[in-house]
Amino acid sequence: MGRMTAIRNIVVLTGAGISAESGIDTFRDAGGLWEQHRVEDVATPEGFARDPDLVLNFYDMRRAALAQVKPNAAHHALARLDAEWTGNLLIVTQNVDDLHERAGAARVLHMHGELLSALCSACGERSAFAGAMIQRPACPHCGARALRPDVVWFGEMPYGMDRIYDALRVADLFVSIGTSGAVYPAAGFVRDARELGARTLELNLERSEGSYWFDKTRQCRAGDLVPAWVEEMLR
Query: Across the strands, what pairs with 81?
Result: none
Q: Which of 106, 104, 108 is nearest to 95 (CA)?
A: 108
Helix axes 73-84, 222-233, angle to 10 degrees: 20
Which residue from 12, 37, 6 is spatially nearest to 168, judged by alpha carbons? 12
Answer for the pair 225, 203: CB distance below 8 angstroms, yes or no: yes
Q: How many CB atoms lie within 10 A of CB 34?
A: 18
Amino acid, res. 221:
R
In a 10 Å sphere around its CB, with 0-12 CB exposed, 13-18 middle and 19+ buried, how is residue 36 labelled? exposed
110 labelled catalytic:
no
- Annotated catalytic residue within 37, 110, 112, 141: 112
Phi-psi region of 42 (alpha: psi -120 to 50; beta: other; left: phi over 0): alpha
Residue numbers annotated as active site: 112
